[in-house]
Structure 1
């Protein structure tokens, strides 16, 4: 690591190759790639924004090296928190993937997305299953059918379907 880009040092001024100015705390530097990572406080409390800067093309970089941190004093990684965040991201990705129909039309996916905003939905091949008891079948996806074990479920789904199709301009 280059001593001029020490972790924790403050970039008081800098300009990217495209002319964008930047400043902040040095989070990381890769000497081989000539890539500087600068962090600034984010809009959300206790969060940071990262900016990746190619220092080979950057100009007018000024650094206050007196603010650099001792590498031994770097924070440790909270492994349980990292693992929880990873698992939550995996669950979210799986849910997002499950909400994408296979071999369905764009209309079917639009109707599914609209219904899923207000009601629990899932795909059963090309049939939208709402609340585990009402089916919305193609090719038009304009009518709900099913046993409706829950009183009023079929009527509720039909009403939401009509409203969402109207919002979609169908």
Structure 2
């Protein structure tokens, strides 16, 4: 029987999650965020949102579901890759855990923005949430880069879209 110190430092063999579990762990939070977004906007797009004053650069309504479908796919792939890049030991493992935690926080902020902005009609609070989301997406990219640069690159269009959404949210707040 190994000594207690050896047992606690033993590195497990094989990946932490099976490929199917890793796929589910990547898809489920992103899909849940997409569902929350869809449910929060359906009644509001032609109602409350249509009545708002919007800046000249507001895209047509059909652009948003197309953009988010592409972005959510890229986000899920990035998360899947990050989950597969899990270091087994050492300081890198703690860095990976931080990257994963920040990734999940930005997904939660993403899920929160749509009900805040659309369902609660809280444009100002929506701006706070989307600005925090932008910071967290950028931090996610920075942390993820160490473990999987392709995953980080997959998040770049998301960061650009969230930056645009932040500007759009601010402009809508200003004109209403």
Question: Structure 2 length normalisation: TM-score?
Answer: 0.24
Bigger Rg, which one: 1
